[in-house]
Amino acid sequence: MENGSVMEMQRQAEIFRAMERPDFYPHPVTAIRQRETHISKVFLTGTYVYKIKKPVNLEFLDFTTLEKRRHFCHQEVILNRRLTRNVYLDVVPITFKSGRYHLAGLGSPVEYAVKMRQLPENCSMVRLLQRGKIDTEALQELACILAGFYGQAPTGGHINTFGSWETVWANCEENFRQTEMFAGRILDERMFQIVRAATRSFLRRWQELFEHRIETGKIRDCHGDLRSGHVYFADEIQILDCIEFNERFRYGDITSDLAFLAMDLDYEGYPKIAHSLLKAYVGHTKDQDVFVLLDFYKSYRAFVRVKVNCFRLQEGDLIEHERDRLLRETAQYMDLAYQYAVQFTRPTLWVVCGMPASGKSTIARELARTLGVKVFRSDVVRKELFGLQSYEQRDVPFEEGIYSKGASSLTYGKLLLLAQEEIEKGYSVILDAMYGSRHQRSEVIRMAQDMDTNLMFVECICTEAVLKERLMSREATSSVSDARLPHFQQIKAHSEPLNEVRDEMHIRVDTEKPLKESMEHILSRDYVLECLQTAKAMKR
Query: What DSSP element (H or E) covers 116?
Result: strand 109-117
Same domain, yes or no, for 338 and 364?
Answer: no
Q: Mind listing the pLDDT tens digit for each residue in 52-78?
A: 999 999 888 999 999 999 999 999 999
Strands 219-221 vs 231-233: parallel, antiparallel or unpaired:
unpaired
Classify residue 21 by burial, with Cβ atoms within 10 Å: 0-12, 13-18, 19+: exposed
Lowest mean pLDDT among 1-10, 87-96, 485-494: 1-10
Same domain, yes or no, for 89 and 162?
Answer: no
Same domain, yes or no, for 51 and 188?
Answer: no
Instruction: Provide the residue range defining the domain that includes 303.
Output: 125-345
- Overall average pLDDT of the 521-528 stretch: 88
Task: Tell which of 299, 322, 345 closes a domain.
Answer: 345
DSSP 433: S
Same domain, yes or no, for 284 and 205?
Answer: yes
Task: Tell which of 84, 118, 152 closes a domain.
Answer: 118
Same domain, yes or no, for 67 and 134?
Answer: no
The dihedral region occupied by 410, where left means phi > 0, alpha psi between -120 and 50, and beta the remainder, is alpha
Same domain, yes or no, for 200 and 236?
Answer: yes
Give the pLDDT band of residue 533 (cuts 50, 70, 90). Answer: confident
Going from the C-alpha of 105 to that of each of 29, 64, 95, 214, 395, the distances in angstroms are 18, 23, 6, 48, 92
Give the pLDDT band of residue 394 (cuts 50, 70, 90). Answer: low
In CATH, what number is assigned to the domain containing residue 367?
Answer: 3.40.50.300
Nearest CA to 79 among 229, 260, 246?
246
DSSP string, 137-158: HHHHHHHHHHHHHHHHS-BSHH
What end-to-end distance do the CA atoms of the chain give, in Å? 52
Same domain, yes or no, for 232 and 374?
Answer: no
Contact 317, 287 (CB under 8 A): no
Distance CA 39, CA 332 (A): 24
Contact 351, 435 (CB under 8 A): yes
pTM: 0.90
Q: Mind listing the pLDDT tens digit for each residue in 343-387?
A: 999 999 999 999 999 999 999 999 999 999 999 999 999 999 999
Distance CA 25, CA 35 (A): 18
Same domain, yes or no, for 354 and 460?
Answer: yes
Number of Cα atoms under 13 Å in the Cβ half of residue 21: 10
Nearest CA to 434 among 319, 371, 351, 504?
351
Q: How far is CA 228 from the centre of its chain?
A: 14
Same domain, yes or no, for 274 and 421?
Answer: no
Q: How many domains does the chain have?
A: 3
Helix (H, G, I), strand (E, B) or coil at 194: helix
Going from the C-alpha of 9 to that of each of 56, 248, 284, 316, the distances in angstroms are 9, 27, 47, 21
Sign of CA dihedral 295, 297, 301, 307: positive
Q: What is the pLDDT of residue 389?
A: 85
Going from the C-alpha of 102 to that of each of 7, 26, 107, 117, the distances in angstroms are 19, 9, 9, 19
pLDDT top residue among 527 and 65: 65
Same domain, yes or no, for 94 and 136?
Answer: no
Sheet holding 40-44, edge to edge: 33-36, 40-44, 48-53, 109-117, 88-97, 100-103
Q: Mind listing the pLDDT tens digit for each residue in 463-518?
A: 999 999 998 888 777 778 877 888 889 999 999 999 999 999 999 999 999 999 99
Same domain, yes or no, for 177 and 230?
Answer: yes
DSSP 503: G
- Overall average pLDDT of the 212-237 stretch: 96
Task: Tell which of 118, 138, 155 closes a domain.
Answer: 118
Q: What is the pLDDT of residue 41?
A: 96
Same domain, yes or no, for 108 and 243?
Answer: no
Q: What is the pLDDT of residue 478?
A: 72
Give the pLDDT band of residue 208 (cuts 50, 70, 90). Answer: very high
Sign of CA dihedral 253, 257, 259, 263: positive
Average pLDDT score over the chain: 93
In CATH, what number is assigned to the domain containing residue 134?
Answer: 3.90.1200.10
Q: What is the pLDDT of residue 540?
A: 63
Q: Mind listing the pLDDT tens digit for each residue in 267-280?
A: 999 999 999 999 99
Show the DSSP H helices in 235-319 as ranges: 247-250, 254-268, 271-285, 289-315
Q: Does the structure show a pLDDT above 60 at 3?
A: no
Please, which residues have CB within 8 angstroms of residue 341's CB and are 6 or more apart in sequence?
194, 195, 198, 199, 295, 299
Q: What is the pLDDT of residue 1?
A: 43
Distance CA 453, CA 443 (A): 14
Q: What is the pLDDT of residue 2?
A: 46
Q: What is the pLDDT of residue 531?
A: 77
Query: Of how many residues is the chain composed?
Result: 540
Show the DSSP H helices in 37-107 as ranges: 66-80
Q: Mind listing the pLDDT tens digit for each residue in 129-187?
A: 999 999 999 999 999 999 999 999 999 999 999 999 999 999 999 999 999 999 999 99
Please, which residues have CB within 8 angstroms of residue 465's CB and are 6 or more apart in sequence?
none
